[in-house]
């Protein structure tokens, strides 16, 4: 029997009871990688021998923690002391950090088995690398957490780490048909993650179910209240869902529009849930522009070394991004940051009568072609607002590709957001 498609929560329980050996779990994941990596190309490095050795040690020792024996993928933007970390750029080919990132060290301490490094776009921006979408190899897997989303979707690992500055967790998860959890800003420590934007970068988790993504995040954050529990335990009343198109609705393609409409119909018919159409405050109409200016300006500063010393080795696309960031004046940057702060101050009012929002994750299903990673337009505002978000699969497009929707909660409302996302995922995928 192959164990590579076990959910992380199921596997964790069996590993804790010793009815499943970590070595068997790891070997099954490696076998899946061997079978599929030639097509998917989700990995920049596979630590085969180290993973098997680690699994054997875990099988022989005491139970280590929430992630005991679980195979995980680490986005190649995140430092690992025993594996190359290239940030998706030839500038850092063969680069070996001297230490683990905080999230990697915590994953190891909780018992995780690191299978390897998953492919990232160039410095987590918009230049794709080699990864393909498991559902159709001619389509993008999204970015920048391309390899993490593809590896989880294809059953290579049950869990993977990613990061988001605009839509780099949510969009690839939507395109690949998996779950992505972006915690409230700072929910998972980002020390040791290559910076792209000081005020936007967020570490998050990818998995095939909400409880799995929550398990991984809880282990890394220490917030065990993030573990998914039945909604009734925390609410004692119907879940109030705000059906929110956002000001970017004109960018929604027919498949996303249909997913939102279908979701609304299902929620209305579900006991224990109440639906309310919700319009965001007028100031939110300009949030995408403000977030984009902040991200561009901060990218040009965070990547100053690469820009100043290795500009010719950056892709033309990233060269353009650097030049666009330098064109943002300090006055424009300060004004954009002030606008973000102004909108964050209005968030409490948004959630006065609803617990969570349901919004699009992406304009539509994964576009055909491997020369771009899609548009993060539906993710930018939530990253800027520092809210927790969960992408959940919400059906299929007309061409059979996955479509996702976002569950968004108030800042620091991660536990409720995860529980609500789990309940909504069950509703949206019910036969």
Query: What amino acid positions are annotated as catalytic residues?
Result: 75, 144, 168
How far lies 157's CA from each of 30, 143, 214, 268, 323, in Å?
Answer: 9, 18, 16, 35, 38
User: Cα separation of 134 and 358, whole Å?
Assistant: 26
No. of H helices and E strands in the chain? Answer: 16, 11
Nearest to 142 by CA among 160, 180, 168, 166: 168
Cβ pair 326, 221 in contact under 8 A: no
Instruction: Count CB neighbours of 364 within 10 A.
Output: 25
CB-side neighbour CA atoms (13 Å) of 427: 26
User: Cα separation of 137 and 119, whole Å?
Assistant: 16
How far lies 192's CA from each of 96, 99, 147, 264, 366, in Å?
Answer: 12, 8, 19, 41, 30
User: Cα separation of 178 and 170, whole Å?
Assistant: 9
Structure tokens at 361: 């994750």
**What φ, ψ does residue 91 adopt, rounded to 5°?**
-60, -35
Cβ pair 90, 313 in contact under 8 A: yes
**What φ, ψ does residue 394 adopt, rounded to 5°?**
-135, 30
Nearest to 216 by CA among 352, 224, 287: 224
Helix axes 22-40, 8-17, angle to 10 degrees: 150
> How is residue 240 annotated by DSSP?
E
Cβ pair 122, 314 in contact under 8 A: yes
How far lies 54's CA from each of 13, 24, 280, 429, in Å?
Answer: 19, 12, 49, 36
């Amino acid at each position: 029997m192959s164990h590579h498609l076990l959910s992380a929560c199921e596997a964790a329980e069996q590993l804790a009871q010793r009815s499943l050996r970590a070595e068997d779990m790891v070997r099954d994941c490696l076998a899946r990688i061997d079978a599929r990596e030639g097509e998917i190309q989700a990995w920049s490095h596979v630590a085969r021998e180290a993973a098997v050795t680690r699994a054997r040690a875990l099988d022989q020792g005491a139970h280590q923690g929430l992630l005991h024996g679980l195979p995980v993928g680490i986005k190649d933007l995140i430092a690992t002391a025993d594996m190359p970390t290239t940030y998706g750029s030839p500038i850092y080919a063969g680069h070996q950090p001297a230490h683990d990132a905080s999230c990697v060290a915590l994953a190891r301490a909780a018992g995780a088995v690191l299978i390897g490094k998953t492919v990232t776009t160039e410095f987590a921006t918009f230049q794709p690398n080699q990864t393909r979408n498991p559902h159709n190899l001619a389509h993008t897997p999204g970015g920048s957490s391309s390899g993490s989303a593809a590896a989880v979707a294809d059953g290579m690992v049950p869990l993977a780490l990613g990061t988001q500055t605009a839509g780099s967790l949510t969009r690839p998860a939507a395109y690949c048909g998996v779950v992505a959890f972006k915690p409230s800003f700072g929910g998972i420590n980002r020390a040791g993650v290559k910076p792209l934007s000081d005020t936007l970068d967020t570490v998050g988790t990818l998995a095939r179910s909400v409880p799995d993504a929550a398990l991984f995040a809880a282990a890394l954050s220490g917030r065990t209240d993030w573990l998914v529990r039945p909604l009734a335990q925390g609410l004692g009343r119907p879940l109030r869902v705000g059906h929110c198109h956002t000001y970017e609705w004109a960018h929604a393609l027919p498949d996303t529009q249909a997913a939102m409409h279908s979701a609304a119909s299902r929620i209305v018919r579900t006991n224990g849930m109440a639906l309310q159409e919700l319009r965001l405050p007028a100031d939110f109409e300009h949030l995408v522009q403000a977030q984009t200016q902040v991200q561009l300006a901060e990218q040009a500063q965070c990547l100053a070394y690469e820009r100043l010393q290795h500009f010719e080795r950056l892709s033309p696309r990233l060269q353009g991004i650097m030049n666009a960031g330098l064109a943002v004046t300090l006055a424009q940057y300060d004004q954009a940051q002030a606008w973000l702060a102004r909108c964050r101050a209005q968030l409490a009012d948004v959630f006065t009568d609803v617990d969570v929002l349901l919004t699009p994750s992406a304009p539509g299903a994964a576009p055909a072609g491997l020369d771009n990673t899609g548009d993060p337009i539906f993710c930018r505002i939530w990253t800027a607002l520092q809210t927790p978000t969960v992408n959940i699969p919400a059906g299929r497009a007309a061409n059979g590709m996955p479509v996702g929707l976002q569950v968004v909660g108030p800042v620091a409302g991660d536990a409720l957001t995860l529980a609500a996302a789990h309940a909504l995922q069950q509703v949206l995928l019910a036969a």
